[in-house]
Structure 1
Amino acid sequence: MYIHIGEDHNIRAKDIITILDKESANQSELVEEFLTRHKEKVMNLSKNPYKSVIITYDKVYLSPIASGTLKKRSSHLNIQEFL
Structure 2
Amino acid sequence: MFIHLGGEKIIRASELIAIFDVSIEASSKISKGFVAQAVKDKRTEAIGEEEPKSLVVTVDKVYYSPISSATLKKRAHQPLAL
What is the distance in 1 between the residues matched to 2:35 and 2:23? Answer: 14
Taking the TM superposition and a 5 Å limit, the aligned residue runs for 1:65-76 are 65-76=67-78
Point out where structure 1 has 5 or more consecutive residues left out of the alignment.
78-83
What's the RMSD between the two structures over aligned residues?
1.2
2:28 counterpart of 1:24: no
State the SS of the aligned residue for 1:30: helix
What letter corresponds to residue 63 of structure 1 in structure 2? S
SS in 2 for 1:38: helix
TM-score by length of 2: 0.86
Structure 2: give runs of 5+ residues left out of the alignment: none
Residue 58 and residue 23 in structure 1: after superposition, are their counterparts in 2 closer, same or farther (change >3 A)? same
Identical counterparts, % of pairs: 36
Instruction: Measure how far apart 1:49 and its partner are.
Output: 1.6
Please give the TM-score of this superposition, normalised by the length of structure 1.
0.85
Which is richer in helix?
Answer: 1
> What corresponds to 1:80 in structure 2?
none
Deviation at 1:7, TM superposition (A): 1.2
Hey, what does 1:35 align to over in structure 2? Answer: 35
Does structure 1 retain, via aligned residues, the 8 Å contact 2:25–2:35? no
